[in-house]
Structure 1
């Protein structure tokens, strides 16, 4: 850091000392100016003369007032202005006390708004110049009178320029701080959304496969002694379901790895193309599921395809867990105009212990319906869930066939 920069930092940290130094400098300039005779025989000349008591008093009052210019700028301007008027009307000009008024006017303009600067500046210029022209000893057109008008105008203009520069710098800092806060908030929002998405995926994978493992394990334990062949088949289904759960968990957790970590599995995300495989796992678990499709081979965006698959998966898992052992389910996927409708119905009456078929565990701590609703909302769709008349539960989702990005690309192609 340079010497000038260190000096500015030191003075900026002590504004009162800076004002006192400025007042002292102005007093020295006024004392020096009191020795100048602008109307000497040879023009401007220096003469060794002692100012009278009134001149010294006016200079001292004006300089002392400048020491408080930051605290009370308007009051300081009033004091220095009065001293300048007195100096102008008390005979031959002795000391340039108007210098104090110029500095005070500069301070007011630098700290007040532009409207106040214009009003106060015009008033100060009018009063000081008018007093010098009308009541001063010199002719009204004298150069000194015009100098009063010019210097007060310069003080007001310079102060307004300083204020504008400070406001501009502060606006840049505010915008930079706002942009930084916005980036941080956006980063936090993206992290929260990613955590929520991963939580939904983990819930769907665990809830589906672990439920199947639990059911098949129960079957194997029940028939182990009497029907070992059926128990062996059930254990095979347990092995297959657990392997599928591990694969999907590995794919989900792979998204959290860093760039230097081993590559995550490249298996595509599940979609309606794997609906038959999904229904087959529930058939093996003892749930009778009927599927009806009228989507004419519609190709869905990846996000919509995954959402439809997860909705059916979660709905059938809830049927298997809560609708009872004899419950049946119906799955339909229908293309209706620019949307595709996914419906899952069951005719269950509840679990053996009387838990309702509301898509949530009997302890009320499930997140199945909440996860489905979040998935549907994320792709700009709608979800309707509720009990059916006569028993059972209904899950109905309406999803857009095209995502927002696909629609924008289609519009660009037309243009």
Structure 2
């Protein structure tokens, strides 16, 4: 009920001012009448002066400082008309409270000091006796108390507003962070699914073509191709099951426990390409070290995607994979000797056959210089994103003499106690 009345008055400022003026008069009138009766003064005159001092409160919502000035002037006139001590000017206190609660602290205290000086001076001039000194000094306390209460209310209101604003901002930030994490996880799962599906389907397609070609002329080799199709499809299902399991399970205890692919399985990966008709050579330089799991997976997926693109778009060529373990970076180079068609393109996604050349630039180890290019294939985009995710760089493009080349640099652990792996 009280909140309803307060809201109704807040929506009607003039009615709010009228209620404030009437309330001030009704509450103070008994004290004023008792004071006049005690001092053998005119009760009517006291009440009239009180009513006049309350009238400016009608427009307090529009001109709070002006109302303070008006009520102070009326108070000074009261002291001149009634030279005896009376009740404190309540209208002045109400106006000062409104100024302090609605304006800044500096304006409030300046207004309060000015009102205290004016009222105290008028009171001292009209009642200079020592017996009136407590009454005169009480005017200072009255005005300052009104300002202090109003300032405290304003400060509390601002504090609550600040707390609410911070809480809302924290809630928005939390929601944005949650959306960002969901987006990153979705992109990671999409990259994993693309790498698994693109690689295995490409191999299955190549092996199926071989089986179809040899079915009548060389059934034995066709049977071997069908076996490889069976093995490849089984591997694809296993990897898909492990990847999709990340979406199905939320707890670590129930999550699938299959190890993520890494360079330890590189030989098996290259063998799968060799069985599908792609000649792949592997070269390792430097001293192999144990890689972080995310870097190990990234290196594996980049090699897998690059060779898948070679097999898909360049046909039966020779590919070369080189791993160079440096002091602080692992450099991956995947290139092939595919020949350019007559139009000068390679048949990569984005070009006439699906992929144009993607030229990249090598940036800092922090990943700021991730290569960019014209290729729009999901595989090429995924390789760039994977390299950037581990703080590395990737560049890809046509070789001057024909073929395609992918270069990636991935940061290695810098701690002196890293483990050395024997190839």
Q: Under a length normalisation based on structure 2, what TM-score does the superposition of the two structures give? A: 0.84
Task: Provide the residue aligned with 1:189 in structure 2.
Answer: 180
Deviates more, 1:281-290 or 1:176-185: 176-185
Matched positions, count = 393
Whether the aligned pair in 2 keeps the contact of 1:83 and 1:97 (CA below 8 Å) is: no
C-alpha deviation, 1:168, in angstroms: 1.3
Cα offsets for 1:184-207 (capped at 9, x unmatched) = 111011000000100110111111
Task: Provide the residue aligned with 1:380 in structure 2.
Answer: 391
Alpha carbons of structure 1 residues 340 and 259: separation in structure 2 relative to 1, 3 Å = closer
Q: Provide the C-alpha distance between the structure 2 equivalents of 1:265 and 1:143, rounded to a whole number of angstroms.
A: 85
Task: Provide the residue aligned with 1:89 in structure 2.
Answer: 80
Whether the aligned pair in 2 keeps the contact of 1:23 and 1:64 (CA below 8 Å) is: yes
Task: Provide the residue aligned with 1:14 in structure 2.
Answer: 9
Cα offsets for 1:156-178 (capped at 9, x unmatched) = 11111111111111111111111
Q: Does 1:231 align with 2:215?
A: no
Q: Does 1:33 align with 2:28?
A: no
Q: Provide the C-alpha distance between the structure 2 equivalents of 1:276 and 1:108, rounded to a whole number of angstroms.
A: 81
Which of 383, 399, 402 is the matching residue for 1:391? 402
Q: Does 1:50 align with 2:43?
A: yes
**What are the ranges of 5 or more consecutive residues in structure 1 without an aligned counterpart?**
1-5, 411-415
Which of 370, 374, 377 is the matching residue for 2:381? 370
Which of 16, 22, 26 is the matching residue for 1:24? 22
Q: Provide the C-alpha distance between the structure 1 equivalents of 2:211 and 2:410, rounded to a whole number of angstroms.
A: 39
Counterpart secondary structure, 1:345: strand
Whether the aligned pair in 2 keeps the contact of 1:318 and 1:360 (CA below 8 Å) is: no
**After superposition, where does 1:239-250 map in structure 2 within 5 Å?**
239-250=230-241
Whether the aligned pair in 2 keeps the contact of 1:220 and 1:234 (CA below 8 Å) is: yes
Cα offsets for 1:335-383 (capped at 9, x unmatched) = 1111111110111125799862546673355211110111111111111
C-alpha deviation, 1:305, in angstroms: 0.1
Task: Provide the residue aligned with 1:253 in structure 2.
Answer: 244
Alpha carbons of structure 1 residues 31 and 199: separation in structure 2 relative to 1, 3 Å = same
Whether the aligned pair in 2 keeps the contact of 1:322 and 1:350 (CA below 8 Å) is: no
Q: Provide the C-alpha distance between the structure 2 equivalents of 1:148 and 1:138, rounded to a whole number of angstroms.
A: 14
Q: Under a length normalisation based on structure 1, what TM-score does the superposition of the two structures give? A: 0.86
Which of 318, 324, 331 is the matching residue for 1:341? 331
Whether the aligned pair in 1 keeps the contact of 2:53 and 2:91 (CA below 8 Å) is: yes
Whether the aligned pair in 1 keeps the contact of 2:335 and 2:406 (CA below 8 Å) is: yes
**After superposition, where does 1:157-176 map in structure 2 within 5 Å?**
157-176=148-167
**After superposition, where does 1:41-190 map in structure 2 within 5 Å?**
45=38, 49-52=42-45, 55-93=46-84, 96=87, 98-134=89-125, 136-139=126-129, 142-190=133-181
Q: Provide the C-alpha distance between the structure 1 equivalents of 2:342 and 2:219, rounded to a whole number of angstroms.
A: 26
Alpha carbons of structure 1 residues 278 and 359: separation in structure 2 relative to 1, 3 Å = farther
**What are the ranges of 5 or more consecutive residues in structure 2 without an aligned counterpart?**
356-375, 419-423
Whether the aligned pair in 2 keeps the contact of 1:121 and 1:153 (CA below 8 Å) is: yes
Deviates more, 1:282-291 or 1:163-172: 163-172
